[in-house]
Structure 1
Amino acid sequence: MKILFIIESLSSGGKERRLVSLIKVLSKRDNFNCELLLLSDKIHFTEIADIDVNISYLKRNIKKDIKILSKFNNLLKVIKPDIVHCWDNIAAFHFAPICKFKGIPFINSMITTAPPKLSKLSKRYFFNAVSYPFSDVILTNSKAGLGSYSVPQNKGKVIYNGFDLDRIDVNQKPEMIRQKLQIRNKKVVGMVASFTEKKDYQTFFTAGEIVLEKFKDVIFIAIGDGPNLKVLKKSIKPINNESFLFLGRQQDVESIVNIFDIGVLATFTEGISNAIMEYMVFEKPVIATGGGGTKELVINNETGYHIDAQNPVLLAEKILFLLNNPELAKSFGEKGAERIKSIFSIENMVNETIAMYREFSSN
């Protein structure tokens, strides 16, 4: 079975990591031939070079370059895929009709978030809704995503993210990371997220400053980059600057997450967060905004805490409680790791995906 995957780029991000993990496993399975189409040359996940997958590029400005449609049509003639699996909404908007016309099953994985309120007049809703009739499956990574985007019941399907347990074997031991970051005996509270409008670092930083008023022996780490980084960095009071570390984008995220005592994710919208999965598999208690798919991933009061959006006081309260109750934090972490291994494994994700593919192909 030949699968053509389409994604804008392999830049740093949750859906990009999920796709690379899927291709990595599929490429080793018998009867599967993976093709990858990138619409830009941005590649953060350089391990793709070590995977048995043929990569094609159609670099363009998809909003203006109408020639992209004929280029894609010609590519289909060469590759002759049994299934096209697309991971971006604008690409799905352009390419799904072509696949429908040619009779090629089209799997649409453009939904990766679950915003509580999504206007039907928004561009995001428009691109998604227009592509629905041309898609055979609208695949999301959370049940909440189906509702947020009003996915037709006869086409909607949920397959949870799968965590590749090979990533538990970190490249650098905790003591090496602590030495490199000059962290001695302090507790570590971390957040892994991009500095974009969907992530709420302001709540994380404000909560951190509240915590520091009562618990000095702690340091807050932010892993990620983005357009809001400089502004948010300036929001921290100078007196607290040494208690916040900004590490930017990291290749070896797992080694750093491994030194966290608590993993935080404050957001405005979320599907199934890869960052939270990283916290959980490394046995870290989680405190996260409770909306979207997070409620399907984190069990409140069992593997961590759900908090309201934009509530730094509550976030600080939960951080302080876990810092002062290490046995409870340890219990949350252990139960979280068990949950990832039993429900959110890469094996589960791949097997469910293969079963879906086989519904549309006889190869």
Structure 2
Amino acid sequence: MKLVIINDMLWGGGRERRIVQLISGLNRLGVRDITLILLDERIDYPEVYNLNVKVVKILRKNNRDFTVFVKLYRLLKEIGPDLVNPWSYMSVFYTAPICLLKKIPCLGAFVVDSKSPKLFSINWFAMHIGFFLCEKIVSNSLAGHQAYRTPVKKRVIIYNGFDESRLDSLCAAPSKGGVVQIAMIGRLDRQKDYRTYVDALVELKSRGVKFNAYIVGQGEDMEAIKAYALERCDDSLVFMGFIREIDSFIASLDIGVLCTDPYFHAEGISNALLEIMAQGKPVVATNGGGTPEIVTDGNNGFLVPPHDPLTLAERLHQLISDSSLRATLGDNAARTVSSKFSLQKMSSEFLHIYHECL
């Protein structure tokens, strides 16, 4: 199979990490004739260069750079793929019409969250082009298909896959003197609700609870969130930036947090949650989108209402003060990932749907 995967970028994010993991999984299944086309020069996952994949960059001036059609047409003509798999709004916008013209099957994988684009925006038009021209539409959650109103006959759900071999070489995390370690991992933008996380930490601090807390990631709201945190809990929260060796950092944690702002975003299946849970750590996450498809409240973590720092603080306090509860929920979390969200499962399901499209 000669496969082309297309995405806007390979910046540090869940969609981008999932693409790299998929390529790795497909390589293990014998698919090695893969071309990854990017519309941006920056790559935050250099491990992609260690895989059997050719990386090609088509640089564009902006989202409406129509010269991309010509460049992409020539490139696809040169490659001659059996199937094209766009992962973003703009990549399906550029790719799907070319695939129709050249009679190449196109599988859309741009439904990665649970909040459809704004009505009549360019992303909305791109989404509908994908709905009309793609053979199938993959979402990583049922909630995503429901929110996007994907055509029912084209729906495919393939959950994110975690590569458990990533944990083989991990060493035991050094002790932090018994102080519980908490972190929220994700891009620092308006989609993630870091302010609720900060406010919950402030509430814990007011109760005299001992903990160390971290924010891991980068993004356009970094400075604004830093300023907000500095006013409230400067000595209890550390900004780590983007961490490539994220598994080693997670090994030192006790609890993971994911707060989402439903006004701007709803999660599909969060890679950050998978990575934390895979190491047997309980999570506390905003209830909504596809998150309930991975987190079962009271079983492998806790779900809390959006914009509710007091409930978040209460759940964190419960976990901080009860190590046996952390262990029980953490064990269940690891089992959830290994049984339902393995890389082998994700890669096999993508390969199956590729063949079905062909």
The DSSP-based 3-state class of the residue aligned with 2:330 is: helix
- Residue of structure 1 in register with 2:275 after alignment: 278
User: Would you say the 8 A contact 1:162–1:345 is kept in 2?
Assistant: yes
Among 337, 344, 349, the alignment partner of 1:340 is 337
- Residue of structure 2 in register with 1:6 after alignment: 6
Q: Which moved more, 1:60-69 or 1:216-225?
A: 60-69
1:324 aligns with 2:321: yes
Q: Which moved more, 1:243-252 or 1:18-27?
A: 18-27
Taking structure 2 as the reference length, what is the TM-score of the superposition? 0.94
The DSSP-based 3-state class of the residue aligned with 1:246 is: strand
1:349 aligns with 2:342: no
Structure 2: how far apart are the matches of 1:60 and 1:344?
35
- Residue of structure 2 in register with 1:228 after alignment: 221
Return the offset for 1:135: 0.9
Matches within 5 A, 1:44-59: 44-59=44-59
Q: Which moved more, 1:231-240 or 1:214-223?
A: 231-240
The DSSP-based 3-state class of the residue aligned with 1:208 is: helix
Structure 2: how far apart are the matches of 1:130 and 1:340?
33
User: Would you say the 8 A contact 1:171–1:252 is kept in 2?
Assistant: no
Overall identity of the aligned pairs, in %: 31
Structure 2 letter corresponding to 1:338 = R
User: Would you say the 8 A contact 1:170–1:255 is kept in 2?
Assistant: no
- Residue of structure 1 in register with 2:286 after alignment: 289
Distance 1:62 1:231, change over 3 A: closer
Return the offset for 1:238: 4.8
The DSSP-based 3-state class of the residue aligned with 1:242 is: coil
Moved over 6 A (4+): none
Q: Which moved more, 1:29-38 or 1:7-16?
A: 29-38
Among 266, 276, 281, the alignment partner of 2:259 is 266
Structure 2: how far apart are the matches of 1:52 and 1:210?
49
The DSSP-based 3-state class of the residue aligned with 2:3 is: strand
Distance 1:214 1:147, change over 3 A: same
Structure 2: how far apart are the matches of 1:209 and 1:170?
36
Deviations 1:250-308 (A, max 9, x none): 11111111111111000122010000001111111110001011010111110011111
Structure 1 letter corresponding to 2:284 = I
Matches within 5 A, 1:1-363: 1-30=1-30, 32-115=32-115, 119-169=118-168, 173-175=172-174, 183-236=176-229, 238=231, 240-268=233-261, 269-361=266-358
Distance 1:27 1:62, change over 3 A: farther
Deviations 1:166-208 (A, max 9, x none): 2223556411xx6xxxx54321111101110110000000000
User: Would you say the 8 A contact 1:258–1:282 is kept in 2?
Assistant: yes
The DSSP-based 3-state class of the residue aligned with 1:233 is: helix
The DSSP-based 3-state class of the residue aligned with 1:310 is: coil
User: Would you say the 8 A contact 1:7–1:37 is kept in 2?
Assistant: yes
Structure 1 letter corresponding to 2:16 = E
The DSSP-based 3-state class of the residue aligned with 1:48 is: helix
Distance 1:341 1:293, change over 3 A: same
The answer for unaligned runs of 5 or more in structure 2 is none
Distance 1:130 1:169, change over 3 A: same
Distance 1:238 1:58, change over 3 A: closer
The answer for unaligned runs of 5 or more in structure 1 is none
Deviations 1:22-63 (A, max 9, x none): 111222433541111111111111111111111211111253
Structure 1 letter corresponding to 2:137 = I
Structure 1: how far apart are the matches of 2:151 and 2:211?
47
Deviations 1:86-140 (A, max 9, x none): 111011112111101211110111111112x765344433321232111111111
Taking structure 1 as the reference length, what is the TM-score of the superposition? 0.93
The DSSP-based 3-state class of the residue aligned with 1:212 is: helix
Structure 1: how far apart are the matches of 2:107 and 2:39?
17
Cα root mean square deviation, aligned: 1.7
